Structure 1
Amino acid sequence: MSSFPSHPNPESSDLRQPSLIFFDRQGRIYRADMIPHGDLSAADEWIGRNLSDQLIVEFRRENILPGLLARFSDPATVQVAVPKGAFIRTADRKALFFAEGYIARVDEDRFLFAFRNVVDEITQEYMLKMALSSTKIFPWYYDFVRGAMVIDARYYEYTGIPTEDNTMTLAEFGERIHPDDRALMAKAFEQQLSGIHYPYPVEFRLLRGDGTYEWFEGQSTYLGEVEGLPYRVVGICMSTQSYKNTQEVLTAAKNKAEQSDRLKSAFLANMSHEIRTPLNAIVGFSNLLAGGEVVGEEESREYAALISKNCDYLLTLVSDILDISRIETGTMEYNFAEHSLRNMLSELYLEKHGQIPEGIRFNLKLPDEDIRLETDILRLRQVVDHLLGNAVKFTTEGDIELGWTLSEDRRHVRIFVADSGRGIPSELVDKIFERFYKVDSFVQGAGLGLSLCKILAENLGGTLSVCSRLGEGSRFTLLLPLRRQDRKDNPFNPAML
């Protein structure tokens, strides 16, 4: 079997011009104006021969040429089209190609078969479809006759926008553009439709069928001019949401890196001061005691108390730094078990009672009933201990209260620490849980305690909140589930620090 030429020589053929074969009612060819199609160019040899003996129109593995010709037995038939996707080949199998065309009635006894080779066009069309099918790029054009945009069917499938004929009026399209993006898009369309070339891409947010907005980028141009106006405007629109998402991630990473750099600088500045201060006190008073410069037992006790106080502060500071390091590296361990809440708070109350300055009443407010709480008792004590230390630090007179209440559904407990201290300005309440933030920079502290408490509370499955009024005091509330299965999933997020 001879091989089939896949397409004609482009140097010797004009694929835009059709080949013309004229034949009579009996199918005899009396004239042939042939554009070279491989071996289908011997027009003179075909004169007088029967069309059906020379050519086969193959569609879905069948020769449909006899059927096409038979339709002209009806005098009302004027023209019959060759279906899209049909092949034309010669009977001797020397030529084969995709073709488009038609058979038309010239007069009562004469007919015309016009066709052209569309192999390259179909190849390019399928290549384009294959390329576009794996992308989110959608071609479109504006039909001036219909006054509508004709957009690739994949566009409607992807966006979920309903359509009947793949068209959308400019008004309908404009309604789907985010209000903040309409002005620039309207400017681009207005210039293109009036014959002023607008070569720049336009970013816009499009309202999808599900009611959400998605970022797209559009670009267009126009084809030809008729009386100063474009013949047709064509363009593409491409979803850029994935690029926007990546950009947001990169921006967030950049901001986080910059924030980390700022936090590192703040950490070094704060720690150098916060560590040096208690160390100076410890070393200074220790030297006084060791050098025998202390006069009297009372002064010795006072110095020893100051040394002990600064040692406790220094231990707390180092412990907070280590805990934050464990949290950030994901090595913080939690050991959940059932514990008596009354016993824990009572023990903490007795430990702290001796550290409460004179003039401050320390009250333990516990309900008559006891409850058992499934939690990490060491981390819970750490949070409450920090909150009590904070209350003591900012209260010079009045009351400090420690207690708990049960939630209405009896599945959660509210552990509270309340004081009548100086309080927090309302505009600063949201900032006090930020790392290194201090309402009063003159008060001793690194600004780590509350940020650490918030993270620990969330990793225990609860939340930490504050209610405060300037000059009247503050109330910190730790809400925790009684049982571990009732806790919310609160995976650690370093940004919370």
Structure 2
Amino acid sequence: MSNRLLHVSYIFTFVLFCFLNSSCKQTTSPKQIIIIQSYEAGFPAYKEIKKIFADQLQKREIQAEVHSIYLDCIKKTEKKQKMFLYEKLNTLSSLYPDIILAYDDQALNALLTCDHPSVKTTPVVFTGVNYPNLSFIQKYPNITGFHDKPDYKTNIELIEQLIGKCIVVRVTDDIYSDKIILDDMDQQIKDICKTNNIFSTEKIRLSGKNGISLPKDKKIIPDAMYISTINGKSTRSLLKGLGENYYNKAYLAVKRDYLTLSLGRFSSFPGFSVISDMIGHNYGVIGGYVTTQERQTIVAANRIADILKGAEVSDFPQITETAKKYIFDYKILDQWNISPGKLPAGSEIINIPFYVQYQPYIICIGIILGIVLLIIIIYQRILYKRENTRKKEIQENLKHEKEFMSFALESGNIFTFRYKNGVFYFDKEFYHYLGMPEKPISAEEFSNAIHADEQADFLLNRYKLDHGFPSRQITRRRYDFNKKGHEWWEFRYAQNTNIKASPTDEYSVEVNGLCLNIQQIKDTELDLTNALKKAEESDKMKSAFLANMSHEIRTPLNAIVGFSQLLGSDMELDKEEKNEFISLINTNNTLLLKLINDILDLSRIESGQISFTYADCDLSQLVDEIFNTHKLLMPDGVELIKETPKKPAIIYTDRFRLTQVVTNFINNATKFTSHGYIKVKYEYDTYNQHILLSVEDTGKGIPKDKINQVFERFQKLDEFAKGTGLGLAISLSIIKTFNGTILLESEEGKGSKFTISLPHTPQ
């Protein structure tokens, strides 16, 4: 009995264990992972890195929540990076992170030196680190990672292979980390690259004030590989070193910061990189021998997966060196005319265009489509011959049709008619077209349908219809056959041979012909007439515009020429007069330049040749920038006010052009406001889904009879005010391009309010 009870208890214990184990599995919470990225959140590679990391964890069947911290090391100093990271780790400490991943040197250095408690207690994995601080890492047994040691020697050899003997330019700053880079690089390349600035054979200086001058289409080819170091803080040497292209050169990026992000695009010779961060992101770098970011992410993700599945950090080496490969950017290779055939074996090329990558398939598809198209054309040709044979047989039967049928085929809406003994007989299609019952129309009914202005003409021609006429006739009149309004019709008719009904009857006249509705033709004629009038008006407006422009240009030019002649004459002028003349010349120069710029802007906008750059725009931020720019420029006694809603409006527009319009309104308000305020404001029009952006002033206002003129070119309501009279015309053209409108409210003596209505279409 006791054995049986013991056996039952074992079974019960086993079932309970399985149940609890199943429950635990169902309620297991995801792992918490913190990734510390060195650069800004918008760095293009981070999106792909995040995807690769997630895919690797999914393959290893690990559920995790990833929290990213972006140090933005390019903008922040090391001290700010540490403070920022410490605060972020404090915020995330409540999640009890299971592991921390540090990506690149800056992220690892900030983590090891920020003195946060979690660094000592939480497993840490690093990757993509070029120069790990061994003394710091050895203090932490919970740290392991991957060393991406830059291979300067292989990259120098790669440069020599692709562009030949050359001067390799590197740019550094006077900081400790750059000194480490230079020392390491000099040690690796000491046997393959010279560091002096003189050719060993011709003794020619490669740079400096004593350098030689050569035509730009010729280059000096060095007798060996040279290394040239440029201090990034010296603007003159940087521009000279990267701008002159008299010698065969190559630029080698050794780090990623504000300076190196644009040097590849700025350089007048090819650029290479020893770090993968600079390749494939439109920084002007051809490529290099590096550890790819994909490889860095994969090895880090797998090590994290091993640790999360139970492995100890001490089971792995603290530092493992990652493998490298040749990687190149196709667009930059093409830019410098470097053939992919010159690349080392096993090279990886990125950013290959679709049509290049799949060129063989596209050619095959094109050939197949060509063959199919040829078969279709041949088949259609066979069908055409068969159909053509059948049509010839039918055409032989149509040759004997009546003459009026040939007229009916000339155009659409053509109907046959016959007139005899005072009655018009039309074919049935005529009645169907007009929606009338099918019955003959008497001459009296026909006359009543004619417009009153043309009835007299019909009565004169009625005699010809009844008594005959020698040749074909054409008449055009307005008719209202169906009581739906007069339309233009054209009648073409001819007289048949006179027919005698009986020996005692007189000869009677029969008329056959065609009638067609020409209302559309008349409408087109009217449109052409109106267009001619508009063209004539446009020609007059162009003449007026040229006259205005000539006057507006001549005025500042006369002032500039006049005062310049006074300054250059023998007339004795005191210092105050000279300064006044110079000030007047500068003022008129500014007016003349603004006039020409306004004319060019207006012309480009109306011709559609000006380009607009659209992006999401925070209107509150835009109003703040305009307010801060103009608040110190207000005249005495005038206050600049801004009003923005609590919730900022985000619209999709050209920020620069919208700022130009609002600035024009503020400048106009400043000219005509001597006291009170100028208010810049925007608000939501939720009913119409629009944003209302306005500039209101307490100035002199605009007379009611001139409000409609303010947006015309060269309209200046006050001839003594400064300006060209084009600002509001340009503003209206810009807002119309944005599919918006401008509303002007003004009362003379009280002020004006310009309101821009823009569609609220945030992206």
TM-score, normalised to structure 2's length? 0.39
| Counterpart among 141, 158, 163 of residue 436 in structure 2 | 163
Q: Does the 8 Å CA contact 2:477/2:488 hold for their aligned counterparts?
A: yes
Change over 3 Å in CA distance of 1:441–1:215 after alignment to 2: farther
Residue 482 (structure 1) aligns with: 760
Residue 449 (structure 1) aligns with: 727
Amino acid at match of 1:268: L
Residue 123 (structure 1) aligns with: 400
- Name the CA distance, whole Å, in 2 between partners of 1:395 and 1:228: 94
Residue 391 (structure 1) aligns with: 669
Residue 151 (structure 1) aligns with: 426
Change over 3 Å in CA distance of 1:192–1:272 after alignment to 2: closer
Change over 3 Å in CA distance of 1:475–1:168 after alignment to 2: farther
Residue 185 (structure 1) aligns with: 454
1:140 aligns with 2:417: yes
Query: Aligned-pair distance for 1:333?
Result: 0.8
Change over 3 Å in CA distance of 1:250–1:436 after alignment to 2: farther
SS of residue paired to 2:681: strand
Amino acid at match of 1:184: D
1:237-281: CA deviation from partner (whole Å, max 9, x where unpaired): 433345445435544553454344333322332222222323444
SS of residue paired to 1:123: coil
Q: Does the 8 Å CA contact 2:408/2:514 hold for their aligned counterparts?
A: no
Change over 3 Å in CA distance of 1:168–1:283 after alignment to 2: same
1:382 aligns with 2:669: no
Change over 3 Å in CA distance of 1:205–1:172 after alignment to 2: closer
* Structure 2: runs of 5+ lacking an equivalent: 1-395
- Name the CA distance, whole Å, in 2 between partners of 1:232 and 1:394: 81
Amino acid at match of 1:346: D
Note the 1:453-468 alignment, pairs <5 A: 453-468=731-746
Query: Aligned-pair distance for 1:338?
Result: 0.6
Identity %: 33
- Name the CA distance, whole Å, in 2 between partners of 1:243 and 1:220: 20
Change over 3 Å in CA distance of 1:394–1:451 after alignment to 2: same
Amino acid at match of 1:150: Y
Query: Aligned-pair distance for 1:457?
Result: 0.8
1:413 aligns with 2:691: yes
- Name the CA distance, whole Å, in 2 between partners of 1:448 and 1:208: 54
Query: Aligned-pair distance for 1:124?
Result: 5.1
Query: Aligned-pair distance for 1:361?
Result: 3.9
Residue 61 (structure 1) aligns with: none
- Name the CA distance, whole Å, in 2 between partners of 1:363 and 1:173: 75
Residue 15 (structure 1) aligns with: none
Q: Does the 8 Å CA contact 1:200/1:219 hold for their aligned counterparts?
A: yes
Q: Does the 8 Å CA contact 1:324/1:452 hold for their aligned counterparts?
A: yes
- Name the CA distance, whole Å, in 1 between partners of 2:678 and 2:630: 11
Residue 204 (structure 1) aligns with: 478
SS of residue paired to 1:343: helix
Note the 1:19-168 alignment, pairs <5 A: 123=400, 125=402, 128-136=404-412, 137-141=414-418, 149-156=424-431, 160-165=433-438
Amino acid at match of 1:182: H
Note the 1:324-363 alignment, pairs <5 A: 324-363=602-641
Residues 234-243 or 462-471, more deviating = 234-243
1:102-145: CA deviation from partner (whole Å, max 9, x where unpaired): xxxxxxxxxxxxxxxxx9998351x5324422414434345767
1:305-358: CA deviation from partner (whole Å, max 9, x where unpaired): 655544443332222211223234432111110111122122223323344333
- Name the CA distance, whole Å, in 1 between partners of 2:485 and 2:718: 45
Amino acid at match of 1:204: R
- Name the CA distance, whole Å, in 2 between partners of 1:453 and 1:172: 60
Query: Aligned-pair distance for 1:390?
Result: 2.9
- Name the CA distance, whole Å, in 1 between partners of 2:689 and 2:633: 33
SS of residue paired to 2:536: helix
Q: Does the 8 Å CA contact 2:701/2:747 hold for their aligned counterparts?
A: yes
1:313 aligns with 2:599: no
Q: Does the 8 Å CA contact 2:690/2:760 hold for their aligned counterparts?
A: yes
Residue 649 (structure 2) aligns with: 371
* Structure 1: runs of 5+ lacking an equivalent: 1-118, 486-497
- Name the CA distance, whole Å, in 2 between partners of 1:361 and 1:383: 20
Amino acid at match of 1:412: H
Note the 1:228-247 alignment, pairs <5 A: 236-247=514-525
Change over 3 Å in CA distance of 1:229–1:265 after alignment to 2: farther
- Name the CA distance, whole Å, in 2 between partners of 1:260 and 1:335: 31
Query: Aligned-pair distance for 1:413?
Result: 0.4
Amino acid at match of 1:272: S
Query: Aligned-pair distance for 1:374?
Result: 0.9
SS of residue paired to 1:478: strand
Change over 3 Å in CA distance of 1:347–1:261 after alignment to 2: same
Query: Aligned-pair distance for 1:438?
Result: 4.5
Q: Does the 8 Å CA contact 1:433/1:450 hold for their aligned counterparts?
A: yes
Q: Does the 8 Å CA contact 1:185/1:202 hold for their aligned counterparts?
A: no
Q: Which has the higher helix share?
A: 2
Amino acid at match of 1:151: F
- Name the CA distance, whole Å, in 2 between partners of 1:306 and 1:346: 33
Q: Does the 8 Å CA contact 1:367/1:404 hold for their aligned counterparts?
A: yes
1:90-111: CA deviation from partner (whole Å, max 9, x where unpaired): xxxxxxxxxxxxxxxxxxxxxx
Residue 434 (structure 1) aligns with: 712
Residues 381-390 or 347-356, more deviating = 347-356
Coordinate RMSD, CA, aligned: 4.6
Which has the bigger relative contact order, CA under 8 A and spacing at least 6?
1
Q: Which has the higher strand share?
A: 1
1:323 aligns with 2:562: no
| Number of aligned residue pairs | 355
SS of residue paired to 1:332: coil
Q: Does the 8 Å CA contact 2:741/2:756 hold for their aligned counterparts?
A: yes
